[in-house]
Structure 1
Amino acid sequence: MNVDELVRDSLREQAAEQPPLEPGFADRVLNVRRRRRTRRMATVAAATAAVVAVAVAVPLLESGKDEVRLASEMNKSDIIAHPDQSPPRDLIAAGDVALAAYYTNDTVKTSEDTKVQQRTYRILDQRNGKYVKDDRWSMVSVAPGMRTAAVLERNLPVKRIGLLDLLTGEVDRWIPVERGVAGIEFSSDGSKLVATTYSENPDLLTRQDYDLDGDGKKNDYEPDRSSSHRTGFYVVDVDTGQADWSEVVTDNQDGIVNSRQDFAFSDDAKFVYAGLTMEPNQQFYDLKGNEVPAPPNEKYLHWFVQARLSPNGKLAAGDFAGGAKTTASEIVDPYTGKRLHKVRGQQLLAWVDNKRLIAWDITPGDSEFHNALVLVTIGSDKTLPLSGARKGSDLSADRWDPVFATR
């Protein structure tokens, strides 16, 4: 009997003496243990030699049977960077955080007066560590450990949620729901999903009779900002598939909610929140759909700053520390909103640890749209490039946006 089996048996013995735990609890503990063991073995790569090769997933003999190791686990380097690649082709990671997928946007005409903005995802293939196009999905959220992704099919809203195996590329299980879903997001521990429900596709664009983009031509397309088609959210238990829906009535007379304004979990997953286009910038709800005050440590966060809280909860990612072309962002006290640090970075995307973050950044003097993924460190003005720079404007079809997950 190996160590993992001993741990599993011990957990089961403890469970027999205590109230029942959630299904799959022991397996989740073991998965966390394996990831931590992998991280302890990691070697810190020098900043000047950050580009490293990605290992291919291979069979590993354990427990008397073949177990496949994921590409994101096989390369134990602290930094895995490809500053010559944009969009990325090979695994990018820093510390425990990896680029699990990315997507590009395209606009597809659906009728004479309507178009739909669609995402096309490139998801990390855990067999070889490369990003592979998968145009089956309209929305993708990757669970911690990067073995599973929650996916939604095309033609939103949809009435089932898929759990995609990132090693095989096949859906392991479908979770049916009664109301149409158009957004999904995992909790930080991967045990739950929040699925945002809409009565119509939130990415629908309608033709306007005025010149929206200033190109001298009318008949531009834009989202309907006069009303919101968001109806509420499901909280889904990933192990059991139990999905509990809560209604959220959205009054959008002042355009305070974007046409797509999905819910996400609070840091402790006791609440969900969604962004607002004006102060207080976000609204929190309990898991029954009742409005609640923001948790004390998330009161000063902004929904559009993706990084949010540091792993130890003592720091929060803030907004720009200047204008649109700035290369600096704020780190604030999550309880007071007071600025504690200023770091390089146009937009803070994910915490790597309590001192480092992944951000979009631009070369000073370059276009604000020509930004690359970089590693920034509190207390340092230096950055470490992780990807090549994006080109074009926000509406360019080849412009890519990242999806991060813990590896």
Structure 2
Amino acid sequence: MNVDELVRDALREQAAGPMPLPSGFADRVLAVRRRRRNRTIAGAAAVTALAVGLSVPALSGGGEDVRPASEMNKSDIIAHPHQSPPRDMIAAGDTALAAFYVRENDKQSNGDVISKRVYGLLDQKTGKYRKTRWAFLDVAPGMRTAAVLEDELPARRIGLLDMITGKVDRWIPVEHGVAGVAFSSDGEKLVATTYSKNPDRNFADHPQNINGKDVPGPLPSRTGFSVVDVDSGKEDWHRAPYWKDETGWSANARDDFEFSHDDQYVYADIPMDPGREYYDLEGNKTGIPAAEKHVSWAEAGLSPDGKLVGGDFAGDGDEISSEIVDSRTGKRITTVPGQQLLAWADNKRLIAWGCDPERCNGKNEFRNQLLLITIGSDKVVQLSDFRKASDDYPGRWVPLFTERRS
């Protein structure tokens, strides 16, 4: 294939897609590079970049090495407003959509129902989301590694998955069954939430009444959490049963732990004020850390610099907005045009569920898409199309974000 043919193919691929992606062109160049001399392909890559107005990273090294797609495309905003669920990588600022999932009910022969997660995980070789078989996963900062659990939960080992090869590099055995994992902000530790039963299974012999009908119900069985050193695999387990009120009632069966903003504590949500319970890494129950005193149930939490909190819904009437709070005082600073604040892109921008005012009237709370919102501005950037199901992902998808640093 000569240079002109390479350019024509690249342009044809660009026209077929919803919008240009530098990682796609880099993958083409890398694939051809394994069959051609470096000098020839370097010239082709340069011509292609000029033809389509994109920057292609310099080629270096040899063999089958592939740089992660998130490093090949370092654009500030990578949006696909015509994709839902997304097929190609979405990112904004320092944050990327590392994965998403939908739920699919799997009826068992004994009458139980397992609410399984069907994940789309970013394939760092192609920059696309690939359907996976894992029962649960979390993605480390940098998006090179995912911690994965096998079905059926609780699992007896944690896999460390290479997001370029799609293969598990190493398994970490655990003494207590694990059904949830979350990385620390430095990627060096995992908090693994332990259960005696599958928290995603509803049991026929433990029914709950919904709309006057008995259906299989949840059975809380959380036993505690383990702090796992990723490098050594060392596991320190601590007892921490699920929260119950004075009558013994629990809201649901799954209640996983996550690390605090500074990684010094772990926390889990509870269905009453103050909304979270915290433990130190030695397993001692503590009060709320001062830095997180005003963090709400909103997923965004503290801004990267710890000064602001992405707060709760604050809309009135037809208005869709959420509040931004001063982390020191708890006072509202402003509101932003988002329905549900999900993650910080940087200290001034957030990713949220919402609806661009130019595309809808805001009256349907279930018609939402991923938006990039800037504090102090009413302008939004559409990152995805409106949330809906597809043949591969039969349900409303739930995003999982992580830091996309190299």
Which interval holds the TM-score relative to the shorter structure? 0.7 to 0.9
Q: Which residue of 2 aligns with 1:281?
A: 275
Counterpart of 2:21 (choices 53, 77, 86) is 53
2:137 to 127, 133, 140: 140
Structure 1's 201 and 144: CA in aligned 2 closer, same or farther, altered over 3 A? same
Alpha-carbon separation, structure 2, partners of 1:192 and 1:343: 33
Runs (4+) off by over 6 Å: 63-66
Q: Does 1:264 align with 2:258?
A: yes
Asked which structure has the greater CA Rg, the reply is: 2
1:229 aligns with 2:197: no
Alpha carbons 1:320, 1:326 under 8 Å: kept: no
Deviation at 1:198, TM superposition (A): 0.4
Query: Residues 54 and 106 of structure 1: is their aligned pair in 2 closer, same or farther, counting only changes over 3 Å?
Result: farther
Q: Normalised by the size of structure 1, how large is the TM-score?
A: 0.80
Q: Is the 8 A contact 2:320 2:338 kept in 1?
A: yes
Matches within 5 A, 1:3-402: 51-56=19-24, 57=27, 58=30, 67-135=65-133, 137-207=134-204, 212-213=210-211, 218-224=213-219, 228-252=220-244, 253-255=247-249, 258-302=252-296, 304-322=297-315, 327-362=320-355, 363-391=360-388, 397-402=394-399
| Corresponding residue SS for 1:297 | helix
Instruction: Indicate how the Cα distance of structure 1 residues 113 and 266 shifts in structure 2: closer, same or farther if over 3 A, else same.
Output: same
SS in 2 for 1:305: coil
Asked if 1 retains the 8 angstrom alpha-carbon contact of 2:103 and 2:115, the reply is yes
- 1:154 is paired with a residue whose SS is coil
More divergent stretch after superposition (111-120 vs 192-201): 111-120
Native 8 Å contact 2:194 2:226 kept in 1? yes
User: TM-score, normalized by length of structure 2?
Assistant: 0.80
Change (3 A) 1:326 1:191: farther
Query: Residue deviations 1:58-89, cap 9 Å, x none?
Result: 48765787642111111121111011000000
Provide the rounded CA distance (Å) in 1 between the counterparts of 2:400 and 2:275: 22
From the superposition, tell whether residues 210 and 159 of structure 1 become closer, same or farther in structure 2 (CA, over 3 Å): closer
Report how far residue 256 of structure 1 moved. Answer: 5.0
Q: Distance in 2 between matches of 1:140 and 1:380?
A: 35
- Show CA shifts across 1:82-139 (max 9, x none): 110000001111112111111110111123331010001111111111111112x111
Task: Report the Cα offset of residue 161 of structure 1.
Answer: 0.2
1:104–1:397 Cα contact (<8 Å) kept: yes
SS in 1 for 2:190: strand
In 2, the alpha carbon distance for the partners of 1:123 and 1:210 equals 33
In the comparison of the two structures, how many residue pairs are matched? 347
1:54/1:61 CA distance change after superposition, 3 Å? closer
> 1:258-294: per-residue Cα shift (whole Å, max 9, x none)?
3110000011111100000011100110112211111
User: Which deviates more from structure 2 when the two are superposed, residues 172-181 or residues 292-301?
Assistant: 292-301
Question: After superposition, what is the alpha-carbon deviation per residue over 1:345-381, rounded to whole angstroms, capped at 9, x for unaligned?
Answer: 1111110111100000033334211110000010111
Check 1:120–1:324 CA distance in 2 against 1; reply closer, same or farther (3 A cut). farther
1:207-244 alpha-carbon deviations (Å, 9 max, x no partner) = 47776147xxx3433424xxx31111010111111111
The Cα offsets for residues 293-336 of structure 1, whole Å up to 9 and x where unpaired, read as 1111101112x421111111110111111369752111111122
CA RMSD, Structure 1 to Structure 2 (Å): 2.3
Q: Per-residue CA shift, 1:133-154, capped at 9, x if unaligned?
A: 112x111100111110000011
Contact 1:325–1:368 at 8 Å: present in 2 too? no
Percent pairwise identity: 54
**How far 1:53 sits from its partner (Å)?**
1.6
Q: Which amino acid aligns with 1:122?
A: G
Give 3-state SS (helix, strand or coil) of 2:71's partner: helix
Distance 1:257 1:285, change over 3 A: farther
